[in-house]
Structure 1
Amino acid sequence: MTSLRVLRAICLVIVLLTDLSSARRVRNSSRFRLRSPPTATEKNSPRVTMLSLRRFGGWLKEHKSTFLTPLAIGAATATAISVSLYMLQDSLIYLSRRYGSADENAVAAFNGQMEKIGRPPVEPLSFTVPSVGAQRSFWIPPATSVPCASTSSSSSGIGEKETRGRVSVWILQGGNAMVALDWLAFLPYLLQRPSIEVQDEVPKEATGFLLVDYPSYGDCEGTPSPATCGETAETALLTLLEGLKEGNGSLGGVSEVELNFFGHSIGSASVRLDGGS
């Protein structure tokens, strides 16, 4: 019995020594070192912050292949797409088309319809915008004008009545894939519909239409943009008004012009700019 007790005591001592050695290694380890709770000053100290940053930096370094690389690729892709869309936005918005034989046939057919109802044919309106280039719009004159009286001075100094014309002008601007002559398919229905008599309204017989092409559309030069489209439409209208005032064409001199604007798709935005200016 005595031998057995001695053997048990020796085994117990060995186990205690092993536990003490393990506890010492754990206590001395930098990862599992037992520390007293930090004070308020230690919590806000730069040393604690820098330690956190080092640990976060180490985590990023360890996981950069699975975290940072996809993030960088995604950011680069998004940036490239944004820059490309910004540089190509005009090409994506303005889908210009040049005139061909089909458009010439459409003009001939339209002129035949106008002749049947006693209206003049389509007239090209050529002009130049210095910042854009040579432009070409189309003017569909009215059949007649409404007389209006204006006072002018004679050589004797006595005021006398001079009968001059009054007309209504519609400025039409199409969508991003339209050319000006595309309106020809719509105008015959508008011109042949029954009139509604309204006081002081210019009748349809005294109504003309200015069909405006954007830069690079139809026969026009230049590059389309909100600024160049607005400048082109404004110059086209001023050129037309000057011709009406001087009496170019079959109408004679026109002293009063009623302006109307109509736009489709992006033409609506352009019409807002033109009407405002």
Structure 2
Amino acid sequence: MSLRKRLLRLVMISFLTPVIYLLGCQSKLIYHPNPYGTAYERLLQHAKGERIAYTTSQGKQTAFYIPPRTRTSGLPQTVWLCFGGNGALALDWLYFTEYWEGRFAYLLVDYPSYGDCEGAPTPDRIRKSGKAAVEALAKRLGTTPQDLQPRLALLGHSLGSAAALMVAEDLDVRRGVLLSPFTTMTEMGRIVLGWPLCHLNMHPFDNRRTLRHVAGRDGARFVIFHGTEDEVIPVRMGRELAEAHPQVVTFHAVPEAHHNDILSLAGDKIGRAMAEAAPAAP
């Protein structure tokens, strides 16, 4: 083999190796599922929560319903659908929900393969799982998804902001709070992998597109919180999403907050924003 051919072969191998790796292991780079331990069961019992079981193409799924601490007859005034980051579990929200308004109920949603859920996550599967979780909750509450819809609001952190916006798009939910959202997964790939490898993205979450769609609906109102020291998703991404819809989206930079401590540092402000953004009682 000539020197030229050897060099060409070496270049091709050098280029194809990361490509093949990314195509084969991309899900492991994006999603970090974890199982539940016994401590979570105690948290669920303390919150008087219950499991909501349902099934999707990925198999058996489990979400968690946390009723309002302030007991009222009939349906809760507001049900917050909560979606965590790529390394979080749905029940992690319980560390914060007990400090937020007692009139709120919560549906805490895991992704396929997370917690007690079967399957494997993709954008489409996460979208369908969120929608199916709402349908299962409506059945549990003795109502329909259509009657529950005006009472729904969305809360998402990081990857969960993308999940929340997809559900908002599908179920016509017009109120929500987003924490540390990215613009698109491809742009996140550019930060981590550079160009052109970022365009090998097989999980095309696009918050720019979904927020544009949701923000165009009458009565839409969203709040974005983003840490100024976020080392995972740059604060400029959250600011860009908000600035594209100044009449609908309010942006709050959280000084000194990183990616994973924003809830701890801004929990009270987030709770107040949820109270202000919650849909009016039907």
Q: TM-score, normalised by structure 1?
A: 0.55
Q: Does 1:238 align with 2:135?
A: yes
Letter in 1 for 2:89: V
Tell me which residue corresponds to 2:162: 269
Verify the 8 A CA contact 1:170 1:210 in the aligned structure 2: yes
Q: Relative to structure 1, is the Cα distance of residues 165 and 135 closer, same or farther in structure 2, using a 3 angstrom cutoff?
A: closer
Question: How many angstroms apart in 2 are the aligned matches of 1:265 and 1:255?
Answer: 26
Tell me which residue corresponds to 1:189: 99
The percent identity for this pair of structures is 34
Match 2:59 to one of 123, 127, 133: 133
Structure number, greater radius of gyration:
1
Q: Does 1:124 align with 2:51?
A: yes
Tell me which residue corresponds to 2:26: 89
Q: Does 1:74 align with 2:1?
A: no
Does the residue aligned with 2:27 lie in a helix, a strand or coil? helix
Count of aligned positions: 168
Question: How many angstroms apart in 2 are the aligned matches of 1:242 and 1:219?
Answer: 20
Question: How many angstroms apart in 1 are the aligned matches of 2:85 and 2:129?
Answer: 15
Q: Which runs of 5+ in 1 are unaligned?
A: 1-60, 115-120, 148-163, 192-203, 248-253
Q: Which runs of 5+ in 2 are unaligned?
A: 171-282
Letter in 1 for 2:92: D
Match 1:101 to one of 8, 28, 38: 38
Once the two structures are superposed, residues 217-273 of structure 1 have per-residue CA deviations (whole angstroms, 9 ceiling, x without a partner) of: 1111111111111111110011112322349xxxxxx87841101111111111111
Letter in 1 for 2:59: G
Q: Relative to structure 1, is the Cα distance of residues 255 and 105 closer, same or farther in structure 2, using a 3 angstrom cutoff?
A: closer
Once the two structures are superposed, residues 97-137 of structure 1 have per-residue CA deviations (whole angstroms, 9 ceiling, x without a partner) of: 011223223334xx1xx5xxxxxx011111111x1100001
Once the two structures are superposed, residues 159-206 of structure 1 have per-residue CA deviations (whole angstroms, 9 ceiling, x without a partner) of: xxxxx5452110000011001111111112224xxxxxxxxxxxx42x
Does the residue aligned with 1:260 lie in a helix, a strand or coil? strand
Q: TM-score, normalised by structure 2?
A: 0.54
Question: How many angstroms apart in 2 are the aligned matches of 1:227 and 1:134?
Answer: 16
Letter in 1 for 2:105: G
Counterparts of residues 156-175 of structure 1 (less than 5 Å):
165=75, 167-175=77-85
Does the residue aligned with 1:245 lie in a helix, a strand or coil? coil
Q: Relative to structure 1, is the Cα distance of residues 255 and 218 closer, same or farther in structure 2, using a 3 angstrom cutoff?
A: closer
Question: How many angstroms apart in 1 are the aligned matches of 2:148 and 2:9?
Answer: 67
Tell me which residue corresponds to 1:209: 106
